């Protein structure tokens, strides 16, 4: 998961990247919407509003040796330069709401093809929202188990999109290519240990044009 953080006051970009790589997260660090898990060979697209400033990016995916990628130097940076804010967000095909223990899917029914979905949270804590496509014959529980222990379990799903650190009030959208199959939408409500609790729902993309939301 690519965490995006504005460079905090008192840091240069390079000093902040250095501290991230040493897993020294400054106490005044805040996080911004970023790309979540990306499957090998795939690309991921997340669109978000960014205030002007300098930003750092760090990957918080865990390696097989237990170390976070960010600690191995998987960090980067970018600058957001001033531009007139037209107030126009990308057009979206649907809206996904994260509210307490419920995920809502609103708008036209999801179908095969490339779709941009806005992710809107009303939860007090930032959430990492994920969309997985279940591999044939795999259950939701197998997919969640694999997601939690990706370095040790055989894949039960394929990551197709996600937005990291979705804050209430932030405007972020994710562009996903759907093909027929069963998709799992979820976010963790408690990542404190090896058995996180998830809020989840499935969406089935039919072979034809209709979608069934369960
Ligand atoms: Cu990484």
Q: How far apart, in Å, are the Cα atoms of 37 and each of 3, 61, 62?
A: 11, 8, 11
Q: Report how far ligand 1's centroid is from the alpha carbon of 69 (Å).
A: 5
Q: What is the pLDDT of residue 171?
A: 78
Select 94-213's CATH number: 3.40.50.300, 2.40.360.20, 3.40.640.10, 2.60.40.420.
2.60.40.420
| Euclidean distance between CA atoms 21 and 23, whole angstroms | 5
Q: Report how far ligand 1's centroid is from the alpha carbon of 88 (Å).
A: 31
Q: Report how far ligand 1's centroid is from the alpha carbon of 162 (Å).
A: 15
Give the predicted TM-score (pTM) of the model.
Answer: 0.86
- Using the predicted structure, report yes or no on whether residue 134 has a pLDDT greater than 60: yes
Domain ranges of the chain: 2-80, 94-213
Average pLDDT, the chain: 89
Digit-coded pLDDT (tens) for 2-44: 899 999 999 999 999 999 999 998 888 999 999 988 888 888 8
Q: What is the pLDDT of residue 7?
A: 97
Q: Report how far ligand 1's centroid is from the alpha carbon of 75 (Å).
A: 9
Q: What confidence tier does 115 reach under pLDDT thresholds 50, 70, 90?
A: very high
Averaged pLDDT for residues 93-98: 94
Q: Report how far ligand 1's centroid is from the alpha carbon of 60 (Å).
A: 6
């Amino acid at each position: 998961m690519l965490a995006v953080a504005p460079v905090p006051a008192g840091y240069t970009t390079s000093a902040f990247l250095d501290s991230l790589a040493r897993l020294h997260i400054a106490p005044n660090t805040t996080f911004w919407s970023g790309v979540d898990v990306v499957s090998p060979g795939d690309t991921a697209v997340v669109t978000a509003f960014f205030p002007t400033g300098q930003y750092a990016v760090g990957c918080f995916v865990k390696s097989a040796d237990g170390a976070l990628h960010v600690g191995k130097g998987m960090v980067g940076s970018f600058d957001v330069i001033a531009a007139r804010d037209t107030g126009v967000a990308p057009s979206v095909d649907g809206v996904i709401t994260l509210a307490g223990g419920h995920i809502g899917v609103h708008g036209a029914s999801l179908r095969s093809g490339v779709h941009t979905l806005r992710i809107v949270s009303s939860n007090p804590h930032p959430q990492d929202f994920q969309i997985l496509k279940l591999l044939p014959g795999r259950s939701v529980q197998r997919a969640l188990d694999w997601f939690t222990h990706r370095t040790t379990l055989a894949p039960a799903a394929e990551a197709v999109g996600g937005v990291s650190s979705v804050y209430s009030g932030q405007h972020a959208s994710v562009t996903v290519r759907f093909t027929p199959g069963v998709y799992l939408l979820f976010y963790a409500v408690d990542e404190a240990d090896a058995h996180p609790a998830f809020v989840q729902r499935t969406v089935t993309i039919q072979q034809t044009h209709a979608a069934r939301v369960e």
